[in-house]
Amino acid sequence: MNSDLMGEIQSGRSEFLERLRIYLNCQSVSTDPAYAAGMRDARRFLTGFLDGMGFSGIRELDGGVGGHPALYAECLNAEGAPTMLVYGHYDVQPPDPLDRWKSPPFEMQERDGRLYARGISDDKGPTMIALEAMRAYLEVRGGLPINVKILLEGEEETGSPSLPNILKQNADLLAADAILSADGARWRADLTAVNVGSRGNGGFEFSLKTADMDLHSGRYGGAVPNALHEMARVIAALHDTDNRVTVPGFYDGIVMPDPATEADLHAIPFDGAAWAGGVGASEKGETGYTTLQRLWDRPTLEVNGMWGGYQGAGSKTVIPNEAHAKITMRLVPGQKPEAIRDAVKAHIAALVPPGVELTFTADRGWTKAYTVPAKHPLLMAAEEALSETLGEKPVRVRIGATLPLSDLVSRELGIDTVMFSFSTADEQFHAPNEFLRLSAIDDGIRAWICILDKIGNQLPDLYAPYRQK
């Protein structure tokens, strides 16, 4: 039925890989101001590509709070068809630690059926897959079967600080029936699944200070506080021996899945020990829950960085006067981000003893957990497209990670989000040697063509009951 499109995609494969290579070459690390030029490079590349494909109205959307702008483009010629806001993000995680990469992080390299580069799986590859399906449509048929608005964010990896303003200030421009997201990876390579929800997140940094300067460990040792001992005590006290977070109120209001959904979860074939062993880790988490429940239905509090004192070669006999920690949390349905933030900060403050100065800094965006409605028409279209393309009915799963967009869009635009990414969760996101399976490119482009068709056959009215604004 779509052999004309598939032919175009096959004959354009080497150009596709070349475009992907150039996009990955842009060092678009959003968290570190040193990479500002790489962020600009990524926006310039996307602008040129979208313009060449036939998208119009291309512009940068700035939240007005000094952050990285998002890129917008549209193609709105499918009269009577639904309108989808297609989402992706062009920013990536920092490449550190650099010495662990087998090839330079910003140069795409193919090895053993995989493409390696920072951001190839999260989220540059999946974005380019979605765009390639649309490019083929526009090239071969001169139009898309649905109306498409594209929003490519530049701050997904830093908690989306500008996104609330971008959505608020451009509510009319971004109005759509639903969000179809090219972000939010597939769970496993061996199981066809569709994501129906994600955890929320938030975080901050805090510092402890015990003296005006580092002190000589002989001349002061044993008689004054050591900032690292104090930090260790605070961090250690945040979890109990059952690996439960000790913050009072942390688990208040959590909505656990209904019994049928929980039974479905326990029916999913999953070998936790093998899953953890695949990255050299062991299973460890909150007592009383399975690994899947810990990942999907239970919240976490994780220290992402902790440091103080001397880290150089050899030894330095100091009592460090300062210690620092970066903390993030993953939240589940029912948890209120602001309440969690305040409770965790209050608990840390209560753990810090007299004589130790506590400072909180670097509050990052706080996002609620999200769940897509069980009978949402876009979820139906996604399930049909995956069944047809991959020959297997997808299992409904959640992800432990966060799509800040889902929660924000629900709040600001009143619409729902379905994730339709073709990266896979084991592809070393946020770590050295991030990769994308080459097979995902074919599967993904075919599935995107199929879902565009499926949505094109839906009446926009189907979406009305789910639109809250």
Q: Which is nearer to its own copies, 142 or 218 (CB)?
A: 218
Q: Which is nearer to its own copies, 148 or 403 (CB)?
A: 403
Q: Which of 2, 25, 31, 47 binds its own copies (CB under 8 A)?
A: 31
Residue 27 sits in the site that holds its own copies (CB under 8 A) = no
> Which residues make Cβ contacts (< 8 Å) with residue 368, sequence separation at least 6?
200, 331, 333, 335, 336, 337, 407
HSE, side-chain direction, 13 A CA sphere, residue 150: 28
DSSP assignments along 190-206, one per residue: TB-EEEEEE-EEEEEEE
Cβ proximity of 151 and 72 under 8 Å: yes
How far are the Cα atoms of 102, 154, 171, 337 from residue 29, in angstroms, in the given order? 19, 9, 27, 26
Q: Least distance to its own copies from the beta carbon of 31, Å?
A: 3
Instruction: Write the single-letter amino acid at 378.
Output: L
Sites for its own copies among residues 37-56 (CB under 8 A): none
Q: How far is CA 83 from the centre of its chain?
A: 24
SS (H, E, C) 426-437: CCCCCCCCCEEE
Q: Least distance to its own copies from the beta carbon of 175, Å?
A: 29
Residue 224 sits in the site that holds its own copies (CB under 8 A) = yes
Sites for its own copies among residues 171-200 (CB under 8 A): 185, 198-199
Sites for its own copies among residues 132-151 (CB under 8 A): none
Q: Least distance to its own copies from the beta carbon of 27, Å?
A: 14
Residue 229 sits in the site that holds its own copies (CB under 8 A) = yes
What are the φ/ψ torsions at residue 107 (nearest 5 degrees)? -120, 120
Query: What is the token pair recorded at 398?
Result: 């959640």
Q: Which of 281, 346, 350, 464 binds its own copies (CB under 8 A)?
A: 281
Instruction: Write the single-letter amino acid at 157.
Output: E
Query: What is the token pair recorded at 231?
Result: 């930090």
Q: Least distance to its own copies from the beta carbon of 231, Å?
A: 7
Q: Which is nearer to its own copies, 82 or 95 (CB)?
A: 95
91 three-class SS: coil
Q: Which of 307, 339, 393, 465 binds its own copies (CB under 8 A)?
A: 307
Stretch that binds its own copies, among 42-50, 72-80, 293-301, 413-421 (CB under 8 A): 293-301
The count of chain residues that interact with its own copies, using the rule CB under 8 A, is 104
Residue 66 sits in the site that holds its own copies (CB under 8 A) = no
Residue 217 sits in the site that holds its own copies (CB under 8 A) = yes
What are the φ/ψ torsions at residue 198 (nearest 5 degrees)? -145, 160
Q: Which is nearer to its own copies, 112 or 212 (CB)?
A: 212
Q: Which of 54, 164, 249, 272 binds its own copies (CB under 8 A)?
A: 272
Stretch that binds its own copies, among 58-66, 144-152, 235-243, 440-448 (CB under 8 A): 235-243
Residue 436 sits in the site that holds its own copies (CB under 8 A) = no
HSE, side-chain direction, 13 A CA sphere, residue 345: 18
Q: Which of 36, 191, 318, 352 binds its own copies (CB under 8 A)?
A: 318
Sites for its own copies among residues 415-434 (CB under 8 A): 425, 428-433
HSE, side-chain direction, 13 A CA sphere, residue 62: 7
Q: Least distance to its own copies from the beta carbon of 372, Å?
A: 17
Q: Least distance to its own copies from the beta carbon of 254, Å?
A: 13
Residue 331 sits in the site that holds its own copies (CB under 8 A) = no
Residue 295 sits in the site that holds its own copies (CB under 8 A) = yes
Q: Which is nearer to its own copies, 170 or 423 (CB)?
A: 423
Q: Which of 66, 113, 142, 218 binds its own copies (CB under 8 A)?
A: 218
Q: Which is nearer to its own copies, 22 or 303 (CB)?
A: 303
- Cis peptide leading into residue 97 (ω within 30°): yes
Q: In what order do the strands lie in the sheet with 109-111?
A: 109-111, 114-116, 435-437
Query: What is the token pair recorded at 345?
Result: 């900060």
Q: Least distance to its own copies from the beta carbon of 270, Å?
A: 11
Alpha carbon distance 322, 337 (integer Å): 28
Query: What is the token pair recorded at 452?
Result: 């565009």
Residue 226 sits in the site that holds its own copies (CB under 8 A) = yes
Q: Which of 302, 342, 392, 461 binds its own copies (CB under 8 A)?
A: 302
Cβ proximity of 28 and 41 under 8 Å: yes
Q: Which of 140, 193, 235, 343 binds its own copies (CB under 8 A)?
A: 235
What are the φ/ψ torsions at residue 288 (nearest 5 degrees)? 95, 0
Q: Which of 36, 256, 306, 395 binds its own copies (CB under 8 A)?
A: 306
Cβ proximity of 428 and 434 under 8 Å: yes
Residue 172, number of CB atoms within 10 A of its CB: 6
